[in-house]
Structure 1
Amino acid sequence: MEIMLRAAKGRLNLSGIFPPIPTPFRSDECIAYEKLASNIEKWKTIPFAGFVVQGSNGEYPLLEPQERVDLVLKVREYLGCDRLIIAGSSCESTRATVKMTQKMAEAGADAALVLAPHYYKSNMTVPTMEKFFKTVADQSPVPVILYNMPANTGIDMGPDIVTSLAHHPNIIGLKDSGGDITKMARIVKKTEELDFQVLAGSAGFLLPSLLVGCVGGILGLANILGREVCQMLQCYHQGAVEEALVLHKKFLEPNAVVTRELGVPAMKKACEFAGLYGGPCRTPLLPLSEEQVNRVKNAFQKSCYFLEQ
């Protein structure tokens, strides 16, 4: 399996679908590791390339540093060694991000997913961000994947800075959640000689991103409709683009509800409809109202995904 996980030049192969898994909590907001184990057993039956632990859907800003590391340890224990683990190691300071990245690697992560620091966003100039990412990559025992999430950070990393960072030997890819297909196409074009891979950050634009050269996606919707998302990717690779388009259109409404509109609480509720453990979020995130729960259910049912609670 090791050969399959690595690209021709020895770099990690990021092709495929990666769900950014939610962190399960009990009613007292402690992590429910037994529920995590049962969810992973179900996800293991789906042909995912790997899993993202402590992405945005993992509620990582609401966790203590040791909890973040422990989650990677547990996922590696439950998953075994035949699939990739990409760990979100973002912190605000360079120092903290380096330390977290190193701990994630020790815990079993194959790669680190790193956002630009954004609390002081007005100071995040191109030189500042380049210095940050290069320092993290220099000191990381595992490859680094850039994470562009402008909706949450207020920072949209453009093609020039991404291309510059792509020359670093330990920066191997980008997850882009901005949804600007033209920009993603430019990044793919500018980095095509660099063994650098681009992943879509949402099922809402997965198919268009594949058409411009992206290799897969880190997709919140894959937590719920993982088999269907993988089927769409397979259709695309087999040249059945019309079939892929049919699936793509069916993803649009459910994906919008559990990502852009209602976020992590809706993601967890949809997991419950799909037979997984969702459970509560950690506060300050609140549970959905009854009206919002119905919106989630209706979004899936209208797309012919009849999820039962």
Structure 2
Amino acid sequence: MKPLFQGVCTALVTPFRLDFVHLEVYDQLLDRQLRAGVTALVVCGTTGESATMTDTERLDLIGHTVDYVRGRCKVIAGTGSNATTHAITLSKEAEKLGADGLLLVSPYYNKATEAGLIAHYTAIGDQVHLPCIVYNVPSRTGVNIPVSVYQALSHHPNFCGVKEASGDIVKIARIRQACGPEFSVWSGNDDQVVPVMALGGHGIISVVSNLYPETMVRLAALCMAGRYREAANLQAALMPAIDALFCEVNPIPIKAALRLSGLDVGHCRLPLTDPTPEHLELLKQMVGATVRTEPQENHTDPGTP
């Protein structure tokens, strides 16, 4: 299967105001992503706080994004759930709304077995006609999806790859070995773009690109061009910002940083709260500093050595 996207996919924050989504601010965020040249957007993922959104809010935002983007990049809908029937319902509705693909977090809290994970994902894949991405984030779900599950799903016509956020670099190589090059792997960790892409990954589903889309686009472009020494230098330069943006549970820091940068995306919904005063000061320093390697032009072309 052809990769659903290569390069940078931003896992978008959701701007909230009390009990509604602030679409005007959201559209400003979309405009910046599109100008930067990201190749895909995730709507209603972990960073978008899907767990505290109603189904109506999620589907309305997916539909709005599809209509606003108008094919300028891929729109990937976060439709995962810990209830298989719920995930199927959301996925079918997202398909009707025109999403280009689905991001399906593994069932959380249930702690499904290997057989249960395969059955869960197969049931969803059988009900849609869109490319499906498995999302492994054991720090959130309590289950680290084994490579054998990916291997089984790689034979399903609607599963195109995995967002791997376990942090296990060796696992990336094992996925490639077990599933072959047609089953895409995307990094789910902003601090591991270079090693994942060096092992054959197709890009990053990024939190940091909400704030620094141009830099993340350039980082992925350098990797795709095989310029890994330059990419490694850029990844290293980004580490202070990445560390700051994960000083608390995502998306608390990224939403605070966006507010500090001038884009008022609002605050997280409970049970997530604002960052501590110490972490807020760290974020102020990070936003106030210039990322030395932020490109000023030609973001999608790494150029020649």
Global fold match (TM > 0.5): yes
Distance across 2 between alignment mates of 1:186 and 1:200: 14
Distance across 1 between alignment mates of 2:166 and 2:243: 14
Distance across 1 between alignment mates of 2:235 and 2:224: 14
Q: Partner of 2:268: helix, strand, or coil?
A: coil
Kindly provide the amino acid, as one letter, of the partner of residue 208 in structure 1: P
Kindly provide the amino acid, as one letter, of the partner of residue 15 in structure 1: Q
Aligned to 2:215: 228
Distance across 1 between alignment mates of 2:50 and 2:280: 24
Aligned to 2:226: 239
From 271, 275, 279, the equivalent of 1:288 is: 275
Aligned to 1:271: 258
TM-superposition CA deviations, 1:35-69 (whole Å, max 9, x none): 11121112210111110001100000000011100
TM-score, normalised to structure 2, is: 0.91
Q: Report the structure, 1 or 2, having the larger helix content.
A: 1
* Residue 222 to residue 105, structure 1, CA distance change in 2 (3 Å): same
From 5, 18, 23, the equivalent of 1:14 is: 5
From 101, 105, 109, the equivalent of 2:95 is: 105
| Structure-to-structure mapping, 1:45-124, within 5 angstroms | 45-121=35-111, 124=112
Distance across 1 between alignment mates of 2:247 and 2:90: 28
Aligned to 1:4: none
Gapped regions of structure 1 (runs ≥ 5)? 1-8
Question: How many pairs does the alignment contain?
Answer: 294
In the alignment, is the contact (CA less than 8 A) between 2:245 and 2:253 conserved in 1? yes
| Structure-to-structure mapping, 1:252-263, within 5 angstroms | 252-259=239-246, 261-263=248-250
In the alignment, is the contact (CA less than 8 A) between 2:234 and 2:293 conserved in 1? no
The alpha-carbon deviation at position 251 of structure 1 amounts to 2.0
TM-superposition CA deviations, 1:164-215 (whole Å, max 9, x none): 111111111100111101001110122225x210000011101010111101
Distance across 2 between alignment mates of 1:268 and 1:44: 19
In the alignment, is the contact (CA less than 8 A) between 1:60 and 1:68 conserved in 2? yes
| Structure-to-structure mapping, 1:125-274, within 5 angstroms | 125-192=113-180, 195-259=182-246, 261-274=248-261
The alpha-carbon deviation at position 256 of structure 1 amounts to 2.8
TM-superposition CA deviations, 1:131-178 (whole Å, max 9, x none): 110010000131211000001001101211111111111111100111
TM-superposition CA deviations, 1:233-256 (whole Å, max 9, x none): 222233322211111012223223
| Deviating more after overlay: 257-266 vs 100-109 | 257-266
The alpha-carbon deviation at position 107 of structure 1 amounts to 1.5
In the alignment, is the contact (CA less than 8 A) between 2:4 and 2:160 conserved in 1? no
Distance across 1 between alignment mates of 2:218 and 2:80: 31
Distance across 1 between alignment mates of 2:174 and 2:3: 22
Kindly provide the amino acid, as one letter, of the partner of residue 16 in structure 2: F
Distance across 1 between alignment mates of 2:265 and 2:283: 13
Aligned to 2:302: none
Aligned to 1:23: 14
Gapped regions of structure 2 (runs ≥ 5)? 295-305
From 7, 14, 30, the equivalent of 1:40 is: 30
* Residue 305 to residue 33, structure 1, CA distance change in 2 (3 Å): farther
In the alignment, is the contact (CA less than 8 A) between 1:253 and 1:300 conserved in 2? no
TM-score, normalised to structure 1, is: 0.90
4+ runs of 1 displaced by more than 6 Å?
none
Distance across 2 between alignment mates of 1:12 and 1:256: 29
* Residue 224 to residue 305, structure 1, CA distance change in 2 (3 Å): farther
Identity %: 26
TM-superposition CA deviations, 1:42-97 (whole Å, max 9, x none): 22101111100011000000000111000101111221112101111012211111
The alpha-carbon deviation at position 306 of structure 1 amounts to 11
The alpha-carbon deviation at position 288 of structure 1 amounts to 2.1
Kindly provide the amino acid, as one letter, of the partner of residue 36 in structure 1: Y
Kindly provide the amino acid, as one letter, of the partner of residue 37 in structure 2: P
In the alignment, is the contact (CA less than 8 A) between 1:270 and 1:278 conserved in 2? no
* Residue 68 to residue 77, structure 1, CA distance change in 2 (3 Å): same
Kindly provide the amino acid, as one letter, of the partner of residue 285 in structure 1: L
